[in-house]
Structure 1
Amino acid sequence: MKRTFTSIGALLVTAAPVLAGGIERAPQSLAPMFEKGNYVEFSFGGVDPSVSGRDLIPGVDARTGDVAKGYGFAGISYKHQFNDNLSGVFIMEQPFGADIRYDSSSMMLGGTSAKVDSTTYTALLRYKFENNFSVHGGIRGSHAEGEVNLSGLAYGPISGYNVKLDNSWGFGWVAGVAYEIPEIAARVSLTYNSPIEHEFDTHESSAFGTLDDKTKVKTPRSWTLEGQTGIAEDTLLFGSIRWVNWSEFRVRPTMLVVAPPNGFGVDEGLVALEDTTTYTIGVGRKFNDNWSGTVSFLYEPSTGDDMVSPLAPTNGRKAITVAAIYTRDNMKITTGVNYTKLGSADPETGTPDVARARMRDSDAWGVGVRVGYSF
């Protein structure tokens, strides 16, 4: 059972994260670190969200269109076992991203869009003590870029504003501890991800002119508690709790935040997000020597206030992921399908704090595949 289920939670990185809090698409799990021996893994998949609503204009039926665009993702992980106690892991993934576009049919927000791409590289070491405790830590580098357009009646004099954030590197660190009971496939781990600060070369433009400057952006810190344990023969219970400090994520380009007449005086910048806590619980079952399956449930409560940024127009989520795992010799292929019900939200543009649209009945489908090989 332990060989089959050691990294069963890794599927959650592939299929479950869909339009999470803020602009998160994957929870930066370190599951490959716990694989036995040397191990390499490739992952890929796609997500098809549907997020739409209506403008809040009395007497006018203006629709936003489907504002969340589909996306694909890919990743690679490699773990090397140096000796019985020391191992190293390299992980490449795409944890943050956004692709939001409001249709021109929306009078309030038509033309508003956000495109964010990022790739993160993590290199760390793990040292396992004789008492089943272990510690892990390393560095994380992130490459990111983005572009945002603000358009529509809801933005008033700001409508037509555009900002391009050129590609930038930022660096942070990761550290954690774990405890295992191999006899029952039990493990609990706690991992901290530090903030990563980027300094983007920024080009802003509006009806009032252009400005080239620099913008500092800090991706949020997070804590992730993950656990699993055997609860019966060939049956595993697993879950996680993840907290992300989105309130420290701010994008404040110069022209947007400085006071008139040189800027627009929007102090909060492009987005103002609330911290999120995400809960996951699931069960895995081994059917025979080749086939296993899992089902997991995810819950991320809403922040309590439905008014959100138009660039992140959902609030909370509930999800279910079903997966099949095929194992043959040293190879393991995991395929998962996810359905996520996204929370209702009312996009607002601030000053005044008034809802400009109403997003309801949003959801998303995701499919992910992981191919792992031990050697």
Structure 2
Amino acid sequence: MVRKTLAGGFVAAAGLVALQSPAFAGGLERGGYNIDLLFDPGKVAAEAAATYVMPQRKLKNVQDVDTTSGAFPFNGTAAGNGGGNLNGLSTSADGSEGYWVPRIGIKAGIDNADCMFDYSEPWGAHKKPGRDWAGANEDIETKVESRNYALTCSYRFDAGPGQLRIIGGGFYQEVFGFQERLVQDFTGVPPAFGGLQSGVGRLDLEGDGWGWRAGLAYEIPEYAFRASLVYNSEVKLNDITGTLDLSQVNGTAPFDVYGSQSMPDVVELRVQSGIAPDWLAFGSVKWTDWSQLQKVRFFCKDPGAFAGCASPGGVTALDLGYRDGWTISGGIGHKFNEQWSGAASITWDRGTSQGYGTNTDTWTLGLGAAYTPNENVEFRLAGVIGVLTGGESGRVTLGGEEYGTRANYDFGDDLVTAISTSVKVRF
């Protein structure tokens, strides 16, 4: 009876935490990695989940810090590469966009072996402050998306009072996106000197690579106890390809660019245990190697495509300047009856920004419920509210490289909310 009661609460609470935590982490994290379905006790189980996140980051006191211009003297600024003086534009902007985080998976087990295939979108970002703010030379719109296809298997065997599970698998990952920014402001420039162009440059990119995971888990079903430690390798995007379109800046036809970057490796420790009949405690610690992402440089495939192709530092770059991320979460789950259970959790994520960007520390509170009308179907719904802590972004030097050379701004504590839902079917 103890085993049955605790296990029911365990399954519901663990699923609720999996829906809540990753979507608020720093860097480019969206859904992160999740293998909870692998532990489902059913022989065959399928799950579909979706989270919608609504951050409300507001940028304030924005200042264009390099007001030089390649269109001098028509716009009344000094000659240079700053793109013009934008300080007459809005000093505030919306620094975030809402986004979906989907996941689907299916798991099958035979004897002591289990395998799971899942699709997820672990990484992403979307900012769209627009053209009419004083930081448009830094960003008009940036969007990064990903797709991850994974196969993960485990084998478990008796060890002491419980079972030890060995976990391994691999995944194929695609990362793609674009950035638009105002390279040159042509306000006040006569048509003959480029005044008919928008001055907006656009970088499109895509890359793919393979990764692997390995881990261990120890389970004692009688106490709803599970401890797992899983390592997910980096994914080397050795051949990122794309195009740079400067046709609205200098009339140059779009040309091909290339670069390379690794997406981060991740280590996560998770512990869950029954603490009383119908009560469960859980927690996790995760480290993500976001410091791999600093300046992502792009080079011309054809060195003669554009004068800037001769630069040894590349023709353009995505400036990130991240530090490693840490995410710590803990909470309590309770089983009310055979159909209903709930959970509450609190999560802290250390921001990855280091004086440039808006990825500061985040605190979130999550509440959720699971409804199991019968042993074959489970519905879950969770809501999250949190605080994106305030800070500022400007010129900094990291590892000998400069960041934030186009705009300064600050931001206060902002609200973030999300809603998650999932359905699981066992056969």
* Counterpart contact for 1:149–1:160, Cα < 8 Å: yes
1:273 aligns with 322
Secondary structure at the aligned position of 1:236 is classed as strand
Amino acid at match of 2:116: V
Amino acid at match of 1:370: S
Partner residue of 1:358 out of 410, 418, 422: 410
Secondary structure at the aligned position of 1:18 is classed as helix
Partner residue of 1:246 out of 281, 290, 294: 290
Distance change in 2, residues 1:47/1:6 (3 Å): same
Distance change in 2, residues 1:221/1:5 (3 Å): same
> Residue by residue, what CA displacement relative to the aligned partner does 1:153-207 show, whole Å, maximum 9, x if unpaired?
99xxxx84421003x3311101100111111100000000001122222112334
Matches within 5 A, 1:1-375: 1-6=6-11, 8-37=13-42, 38-57=44-63, 62-83=90-111, 85-109=112-136, 111-131=139-159, 132-151=163-182, 160-166=200-206, 168-198=207-237, 199-206=239-246, 207=249, 209=252, 210-250=254-294, 251-254=296-299, 262-263=310-311, 265=313, 269-302=318-351, 305=354, 307-309=355-357, 313-329=358-374, 330-348=376-394, 351=402, 356-375=408-427
* Counterpart contact for 1:246–1:273, Cα < 8 Å: yes
Displacement of 1:245: 0.2
- With 105-114 and 129-138 compared, the bigger mean Cα shift is at 105-114
* Counterpart contact for 1:50–1:68, Cα < 8 Å: yes
Displacement of 1:26: 2.0
Distance change in 2, residues 1:163/1:352 (3 Å): closer
Give the TM-score, by structure 1 length.
0.88
Amino acid at match of 1:54: K
Measured in 2, the distance between the counterparts of 1:366 and 1:241 equals: 21
Displacement of 1:328: 1.6
How many correspondences in the alignment? 364
Secondary structure at the aligned position of 1:108 is classed as coil
Distance change in 2, residues 1:326/1:7 (3 Å): closer
- With 121-130 and 342-351 compared, the bigger mean Cα shift is at 342-351
- With 54-63 and 290-299 compared, the bigger mean Cα shift is at 54-63
Distance change in 2, residues 1:50/1:152 (3 Å): farther
Alignment RMSD (CA, Å): 2.7
* Counterpart contact for 1:314–1:345, Cα < 8 Å: no
Measured in 2, the distance between the counterparts of 1:7 and 1:87 equals: 20
Give the TM-score, by structure 2 length.
0.78
* Counterpart contact for 1:55–1:108, Cα < 8 Å: no
Percent identity at matched positions?
Answer: 25
Displacement of 1:30: 1.1
Measured in 2, the distance between the counterparts of 1:215 and 1:52 equals: 32
Unaligned runs of 5+ in 1: none
Secondary structure at the aligned position of 1:2 is classed as helix
2:189 aligns with none
Secondary structure at the aligned position of 2:23 is classed as coil
- Considering only CA atoms, is the larger Rg found in Structure 1 or Structure 2? 2
Measured in 2, the distance between the counterparts of 1:139 and 1:20 equals: 23
Displacement of 1:60: 7.5
* Counterpart contact for 2:27–2:352, Cα < 8 Å: no
Displacement of 1:13: 3.4
Amino acid at match of 2:167: H
Measured in 1, the distance between the counterparts of 2:12 and 2:149 equals: 20
Displacement of 1:215: 1.8
Measured in 1, the distance between the counterparts of 2:335 and 2:403 equals: 56
Amino acid at match of 2:208: W
Amino acid at match of 1:24: E
Distance change in 2, residues 1:236/1:263 (3 Å): same
2:72 aligns with none
* Counterpart contact for 2:131–2:182, Cα < 8 Å: no
> Residue by residue, what CA displacement relative to the aligned partner does 1:292-326 show, whole Å, maximum 9, x if unpaired?
11000000134584x123xxx22110001100111
Secondary structure at the aligned position of 1:183 is classed as helix
- With 197-206 and 239-248 compared, the bigger mean Cα shift is at 197-206
* Counterpart contact for 1:308–1:315, Cα < 8 Å: no
Secondary structure at the aligned position of 2:93 is classed as coil
Measured in 2, the distance between the counterparts of 1:191 and 1:225 equals: 7
Unaligned runs of 5+ in 2: 1-5, 65-86, 186-198, 397-401
